[in-house]
Structure 1
Amino acid sequence: MNGLAGMEKFSHLEDKIYLTIENVRKLREEKEKIEHEMKSLRHEVSNLLSEKTRLEEKVEDLLSERDAIQLKVEAMLDAMTIIEPDVAEAVHR
């Protein structure tokens, strides 16, 4: 009887070891999956930061272009007011 109890304990220990091995395998798979996702997200963040920088530069260029056009339009309006005094009244309304 004592030998049978020892075998049951050994079998129980063996089951625990196999369960532990299976849990470790699952955890490693999850870790690899998470590391892959993290790498992918870091790449995506890098791309988004580059795109953000590009768009900020584009906005700055467009704002500069808008300011230049505004100055040219104002200069043309000023020139028109010299030629046509009636235009001056319309512009200043």
Structure 2
Amino acid sequence: MEKFNHLEDKLYRIVEYAKHLRQEKESLEREVAALKREAAARAEENERLNQRLHQMLNERDAIKNKVEAMLDAIALVEPELTEAARRG
């Protein structure tokens, strides 16, 4: 009878351990799901920021081109201003 009781105790411990493992598995599955959602949100944010970066770089290039055009126009006008100053 003592062997039967010992076997019964082992069986209860195994059942409790299995419950513990199941709970731990469920907890880890919830954590994985949350991490996947967070990773997806961060990937979306990264994509949005990359798009914004490209937009800003394009704006910067457009402004740079406009400034260069203005500087070129000033360079063309400057000799005329120097000549007009000499006449004056």
TM-score clears 0.5? yes
**2:77 & 2:33 partners in 1: Cα distance?**
66
Residue of structure 2 in register with 1:55 after alignment: 49
SS at match of 1:84: helix
Q: How does 1:12-23 map to 2 (within 5 A)?
A: 12-23=6-17
Structure 2 letter corresponding to 1:83: V
Structure 1 letter corresponding to 2:38: E
User: Alignment identity in percent?
Assistant: 49
Whose relative contact order is higher, 1 or 2, with alpha carbons under 8 Å and at least 6 apart? 1
Structure 2 letter corresponding to 1:54: R
Residue of structure 2 in register with 1:69 after alignment: 63
Q: Does 1:46 align with 2:79?
A: no
RMSD: 0.5
SS at match of 1:47: helix
Residue segments in structure 2 that go unaligned for 5+ positions in a row: 80-88
Residue of structure 2 in register with 1:34 after alignment: 28
| CA apart distance, 1:52 | 0.6
Count residues in correspondence.
79
Residue segments in structure 1 that go unaligned for 5+ positions in a row: 1-6, 86-93
